[in-house]
Structures are given as structure tokens and as C-alpha cells.
Structure 1
């Protein structure tokens, strides 16, 4: 069974999507439609912008979404997922792939999500950090000891967990984690504390936007970051998508459940190969590849 997986923030690069734009008239049409919907030429930033330009949350999220979704649409009849999943933002790309969301509605949702998250980031100094070489339970216990807000945010693969919270608490947690035996505890170059309680203001805004969007019955199950199990009920999908902003991304659990349910091949659709690497660390025997058009 084919599992198609969709990356989140961090996978962006200058020039992303340009090959699709130049090669496929249909892709060009979708990119131009996206420029109209967003009200600015995101293609200019994707194709020629600096790494700094691309790093802004309001640019990064729609850029990665567009690259992933337009690529999947250019694959034609060969694109037949048996199951889908996405890492954080990638979950919305996955929901277009399994026909839960229409392209335009999903792009509007991604942009509202990005703006809401950027606003939430500006309320107080906050960040995320990658913790390597330590058991999840120990990382969680140490975070619970720290004054302020710092929580486990991304369970990426065994031995790799990302923490998230206000700046002082994350910095203190990194010190303590290294003292207690973590191989590395490294502050990440991100805009704020994603997947933590500090995203609560964004969650409320996103909930309203999701409620105003049409969700159809999917053509195959999605394994969502919050629940980690196969979901096909549109109402449940909506609820999980709202909670995702303040809840951790349980990628390790999702991949294990996809394998248990019969996934034999994981195909990453969009920029980069980060998710393939994580899948291999979760299960060495898993077949992984990048989507090709």
C-alpha cells in the first residue's frame, strides 16, 4: 500500500516549484491562481527570494503547501494514495491529496493559519529546540521541571524530539537537558513556539476558518498528527486540525500506525527529503522515495 507524506515548515528552498511552473501549463495556471488568492506574487519569492524571505511564516507555509499540492496534481493517474499524512502544515496538503479539501479553500486556510501563527509568535519571545539522543519520557520530565512554558512539540523519530515554549524556558531546558545526557539540544531558527500552549490565540482563529470551510469525505484515510490513527470522518478531521496548533506532532506514532495498517511504500511529495529520513529512523525496512512527475 502506498502512503503519501507531505512536509511542513523547514523544507523550503529558493527555486522551489520553478521546474513545475516552467514545464506544466496546468501548474503555471495553479501558481498564478495562488498569486491572485493570496494578493501577492508568492511565486516571485519561491523562485527568486532569499532564504530570509522564505523563512517568514506567512510565506513559508503557503509556499510549501503549493509546491506539494501542485506536484501531486501534476502526477496525474499515477497519484493513487492508499493513505496520507502530513507533518504539521503538511497535514493540509495531505487533505487536498485525499480530496477532503479543494485547492482554493485549502490555500486560503493555510494562509489564515500562517497569519494567525505569525501574530501569536509576536505576542512574546518564543522558540523551539531539537533534542537529540534522549528518551522521550526523560525530555518530557525535564520540561515539566522548568519554570515557564516549555513542552514536547514534535515526536519526529526515536531519539529526536523538538521542544517548544517561551524563549527563557526553552533556553533553560536546553541547558538542563545537556547536563542530564542529551547528545544535543539546539535552538532552531523558527518564528516561535509552534505546537505549544502559546499558539492558543492562533487556534481560536483557525477554528473559525475551519468551521467556515467545506470538508468532504476523503478518498483514503489520513493519519493526523494529533490522533495518529486512520481518520475518514470530516468532523473528526476538522477537530484534529484545530487541536494540532497547540498539541504535539506525533510523527513517530503516525508512521508506526501506517506501517501496522499495511503501508509498504512512503512517498514524500514536496520540497526536501526530511520525512523520508524520519521514516527510515522509525523503521529501517520501510521503502521511501521522493515523488516524481
Structure 2
């Protein structure tokens, strides 16, 4: 069995998609459709930068999605295949869940781009710049990360009397967990991490504390937008981040996407669940972040990244 998977924020880079667009009219059509839907030249920003503008959440989220969908569509149309015939499941990391839904026909491309632009803006606006932060804990599993987060909250409360947020945002793989919350609590977690047996703790260069309760205003905005969106049942089940289970009912999908904004991305559990359901091959489109994570989570499965035209050609030989 096979799962097609799609990356989240952090996989953006200036130049993304350019070689694909130069080589394939199918890819160019995807980039043009998104530009038209957003009323701006997103592909020019992806191709030429500046990097600081591409890094902005409202730009990075639709850009990453568009690049992944362009890669998938080139493979489908030039290879004469259909996702529903070649994949048993789809899944994506954070914003990648929207990409997965678009790939599986639940959301149109233009709708997905507009939803992700709104999601990016709402997440950025939910917390004033500088008030929140995120940190990656390396060499820490979920239980250890939760203990570090709890200790950080307790330490700040004892020192200042304030109850701040510090919680697990992403359970990525057995050796990498991300914390999110108020900056003082995250900084305390970084200070505590080594003494609590984490190998390393790194403050992430992000503009907001994603996937934590501080994102509730963004969740409210997405609930309103998704209620109006044309969202259909996906052609194949999608493993949702917040529950790590396969869903296909549109109402369930909407609810999961809303809860995802403030909830933990359960990527490790999602991969284990797909592997447990019989998936022995994972194919990542438009990035090279998730495939290595998959191998760390489930070493016995095959995991491949498809980014370039050469990658597409090699993948078509095996489908």
C-alpha cells in the first residue's frame, strides 16, 4: 500500500517550482491558476524572492501547497496516472493537510490557495509579534517534551505568578518534538531542556506560536471560512493531524482542520497508523522533509521525495 504525503511550513525556498515550470506546461498552469485565484504574482515571489517576503506565513503556506500540487499534477498528467489509482491514503504536515485534501479532490486548487492565505494571515494576527515563540527539542520524545513543557510553565508561574502557555505543537518523530507558546515559557523550556535529558533545544525562526491555544482567534477565522468553502469527500481517505486517523466525511474534515490550528500535529502517530494499516511506501511531493521523518518513525517502510522532473521520471517507473 502507498501513501502520498505533503510537507508543511519550513520547506519554502526562493527558486521553488521554477525548474518545474520551465520544463512543464502542466506545472505552469498550476502556478498561473493560483496567481489568478489570489490576484497576485505568487509564483514570481516563489521564483525570485525576496526571501523575507516568501517567509511570511500568508505567502509561504500557499506557495508550499502550490509547489507540491504542481509536482503531483505533472506526474499525473504527463505519466497518465490518477492519484486515486496509485495511492491508498494521503496526509500532510500542518498546512500540508490542505495540500493532501486538494490532491485527493476534496478542495479545488483556487479554494485551497485562498484558504491557506487566510490561514496564514489569521495565524500571524492571532498573537502580537514577539509575544510567542516555538522551539525544537532534539533527542526528546513526546513524553519527555511534555515534561519539559510542564516544568517550564511551573517555573514561570513560581517566578512571576503568571500562567503562560507552553505545549507540544508538533510530534514529528521519535527524536524531534516542537514546543509552542508564550516566549518567556518557551525560553524557560529551552533552558531546562538539557538538564531534563534532551540532546538539544533550538529556538525556531518563526513569526508566531503555531499549533497551541494562543491560536484560537485563527481557529475561529478558519471555522468561518471552512463553513463556506466547497469541500467534498476526498477520493481516498486523508489521515488528519489532530487525531492521526483516516477520515473522509466532509464535516469531519472541516472540524479536524479547525482543531488543527490550536492542536498538536500528531505526525509520528499518523505515520505509525498508516504503516499499521498496511502502508509500506510513502511518497513525499514538493519537499524533502517528511520522507526522512517517516524513515525515523518506521524504518522498515520505503520513503521517497519527489521534487524535480528527474524525480518524477524515476517515480513513474515504479508506480
Corresponding position of 1:28:
28
Q: Residues 87-102 of structure 1 correspond to what in structure 2 (within 5 A)?
A: 87-102=93-108
Q: Using the TM superposition, give the Cα deviation of residue 123 of structure 1 relative to its aligned residue in structure 2, in angstroms.
A: 6.0
Per the TM alignment, residue 134 of structure 1 is displaced from its structure 2 partner at its CA by: 2.4
- Map of 1:125-144 to 2, 5 A cutoff? 125-144=131-150
Q: 2:226 aligns with which of 210, 232, 236?
A: 210
Matches within 5 A, 1:121-270: 121-122=127-128, 125-145=131-151, 146=153, 147=156, 148-270=164-286
Question: CA offsets, 1:107-165, max 9 Å, x none?
Answer: 11111111111111436621110001123213212312313111011000012110001
When the two structures are superposed, what TM-score results if normalisation uses the length of structure 2?
A: 0.88
Kindly report structure 1 stretches of 4+ aligned residues shifted beyond 6 Å.
none
| Residue ranges of structure 2 left out of the alignment (5+ in a row) | 157-163, 313-319
Greater Rg over alpha carbons, structure = 2
- Selected match of 1:117 from 96, 109, 123: 123
Distance in 2 (alpha carbons) for counterparts of 1:34 and 1:139: 38
Aligned to 2:45: 45
* 1:81–1:98 contact (8 Å) kept in structure 2: no
Could you report, residue by residue, the CA deviation over 1:245-288 in whole angstroms, capped at 9, with x for unpaired residues?
A: 100000000000000111111000013x1101100100111101
Shift of 1:30: 2.3
1:82 positional shift: 1.1
Match of 1:122, SS?
coil
SS class of match (2:261):
coil
Q: For residues 26-45 of structure 1, give each alpha carbon's deviation from its aligned partner in whole angstroms, at most 9, with x where no partner exists.
A: 32222122112212211111
For the residues of structure 1 that align with 2:147 and 2:305, how far apart are their CA atoms?
Answer: 36
Count matched residues: 292
Q: In the aligned structure 1, how far is the partner of 2:103 from the partner of 2:33?
A: 18
RMSD: 1.3
Cα distance in 2 for residues equivalent to 1:100 and 1:81: 15
Which structure shows the bigger proportion of residues in helix conformation? 2
State the secondary structure of the residue aligned to 1:117: helix
Mapped contact 1:121–1:191 kept (Cα < 8 A): no
Matches within 5 A, 1:267-286: 267-271=283-287, 273-286=288-301
* CA distance, structure 2, for counterparts of residue 119 and residue 289 of structure 1: 35
Provide the residue aligned with 1:2 in structure 2.
2
SS at match of 2:69: helix
For structure 1, list consecutive stretches of 5 or more residues without a partner in the other structure: none
